[in-house]
């Protein structure tokens, strides 16, 4: 369903963030992306929905090349791809409900959203998604009044509003404590198992990778170093991915 072919990204100032990365993603997979800080994980995820414009290569989504899509096409592609961020990226001064409803913007008419109107169906759907992540009672609070774990759940609800076929999660638990981390990962797992949503998730902790992912890819300085089942990451592979001095923790 998603094919990444020879993806390369060179940022301004000649920073090579991705170097000829190719891999495929099967429907229903839970794919972990690992690698050191600065290895290009975020860049990879953002190239998939073109939040970052790739320098070279193709991203084929359902047979369409995302990198060549025009504005309307891109909008239709993006709304099927949910995204979750390390720092939640909620609009802090808006209500939780509005934040969740914003996930619907790819479907609503731009002129209509000027007057801040969502259909009743969308509002009902938003409450349903909030219920799934267990924070219906917070719907009318301002987003910044919520704790980190709650905010990340709001952002999952927002992504789910898109009816996504795939969710890109960029270190979704890196700013949460371990207990909350597991609870968020379990929500993702549930979405993956129950709704069949494909998940690509960049992670820093290998135990999370082992526990939740059924496949992992690893980047080192923008180069794809590993592609396989998490349990295949042995000490040799580990040193390849994280460098010679690295020690395994956790």
Partner 1 sequence: MRCDLKKKSSILKSLRTGLLIAISIIVFAYAFQVTNVNFETTRSEVRITQLTRVLRALAKPELVEYDTTEEEISSPFYLPCPDNGEIEGIEKNTNLAYIQTSVICASPKETITVEGFNMPANIKGPINFLAASGVKRQLANFETNSDGYFSVDVVVPTRQPVAEAQYITATIRTTTGLPKWTETAKATWDKIIETVFIALLATTIGTAASIPISFIAARNLMKDSTSTPTSTALNIIGFPLGAYLGYIFSKWIIDLLSPFEKNVFITLIGLIISGVIAYFSLRKGLPSEDIKKPTNSVKIQRFAFIFIAGVMAILSIILFGEFTKLAGEALENLLGPIGFLGYALFQIGDITSMLVPALTAIAFGGVIVSVFNKVGLSLQDNLNTSILKIINIVLSTIAGAILFALVMAVINWFYQFNNPRISLYYPVIIGGFAGFILAVIAKPKHLLPTGFIIYTITRTILNALRSIEPLVMAIIAVIWVGIGPFAGSLALALHTIAALAKLYSEQVESIDDGPLEAIHATGANKLQTIVYAVIPQIIPPYISFTMYRWDINVRMSTIIGFVGGGGIGFLLQQNINLLSYRSASVQMLAIAVVVASMDYVSSKIRERIV
Ligand X SMILES: Nc1ncnc2c1ncn2[C@@H]1O[C@H](COP(=O)(O)OP(=O)(O)OP(=O)(O)O)[C@@H](O)[C@H]1O
Q: Which residues of the chain form contacts with Mg ion (CB under 5 A)?
A: 42
Q: How far is the CB of 38 from partner 1 (least distance, A)?
A: 19
Minimum CB distance to Mg ion smaller for 42 or for 151:
42
163: tokens are: 């009816």
Q: Which of residues 183-242 bind partner 1 (CB under 8 A)?
A: none
Other Cβ atoms less than 10 A from the Cβ of 212: the count is: 19
Q: Residue 200: left if φ>0, alpha if ψ -120 to 50, beta else—which one?
A: beta
Question: Interface with ligand X includes 50 (CB under 6 A)?
Answer: no
Residues 6+ apart with CB under 8 A from 56: 6, 7, 8
Q: Which of residues 35-94 bind partner 1 (CB under 8 A)?
A: 49, 51, 68, 70-71, 74-79, 81-83, 85, 87-94
Per partner kind, with CB cut-offs from 5 to 8 A, the member of ligand X, Mg ion, partner 1, none near residue 39 is ligand X
Q: How far is the CB of 218 from Mg ion (least distance, A)?
A: 14
Please give the backbone phi and psi of residue 224, each rounded to the nearest 5 degrees, phi first: -75, 120
Residue 82, strand partner residues: 167
Q: What x/- string results for residues 29 through 48 when contact with ligand X is judged by CB under 6 A? A: ------x-xxxxxxx-----
Separation between Cα atoms, residue 102 and residue 149, nearest integer Å: 19
Minimum CB distance to ligand X smaller for 163 or for 175:
175
Q: How far is the CB of 234 from partner 1 (least distance, A)?
A: 35
Side-chain half-sphere CA neighbours of 182 within 13 A: 5
Is residue 201 within 8 Å of 31, Cβ to Cβ? yes
Q: How far is the CB of 25 from partner 1 (least distance, A)?
A: 17
**What 3-state DSSP class applies to 224?**
strand
**What 3-state DSSP class applies to 12?**
coil
Residues that bind partner 1 in the complex, under the rule CB under 8 A = 49, 51, 68, 70-71, 74-79, 81-83, 85, 87-94, 98, 102-114, 116, 119, 155, 158, 161-162
Site of interaction with ligand X (CB under 6 A): 11-12, 15, 17, 35, 37-43
């Amino acid at each position: 369903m998603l094919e990444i072919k020879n993806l390369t990204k060179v940022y301004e100032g000649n920073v090579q963030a991705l170097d000829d990365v190719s891999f495929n993603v099967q429907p229903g997979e839970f794919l972990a992306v690992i690698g050191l800080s600065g290895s290009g994980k975020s860049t990879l995820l953002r190239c998939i929905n073109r939040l970052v414009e790739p320098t070279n290569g193709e991203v084929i989504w359902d047979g369409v090349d995302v990198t060549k899509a025009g504005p309307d096409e891109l909008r239709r592609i993006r709304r099927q791809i949910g995204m979750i961020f390390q720092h939640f990226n909620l609009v802090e001064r808006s209500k939780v409900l509005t934040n969740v409803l914003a996930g619907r913007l790819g479907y609503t008419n731009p002129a209509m959203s000027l007057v801040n109107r969502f259909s009743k169906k969308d509002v009902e759907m938003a409450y349903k998604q909030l219920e799934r992540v267990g924070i219906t009672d917070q719907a009318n609070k301002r987003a910044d009044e919520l704790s980190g774990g709650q905010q990340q759940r709001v952002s999952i609800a927002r992504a789910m509003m898109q009816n996504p076929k795939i969710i890109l999660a960029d270190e979704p638990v890196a700013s949460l404590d371990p207990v909350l981390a597991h609870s968020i990962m379990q929500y993702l797992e549930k979405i993956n198992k129950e709704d069949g949503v494909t998940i690509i998730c960049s992670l820093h902790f290998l135990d999370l990778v082992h526990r939740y992912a059924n496949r992992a890819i690893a980047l080192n300085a923008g180069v794809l170093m590993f592609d396989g089942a998490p349990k295949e990451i042995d000490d040799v592979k580990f040193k390849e991915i994280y460098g010679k001095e690295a020690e395994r923790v956790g």
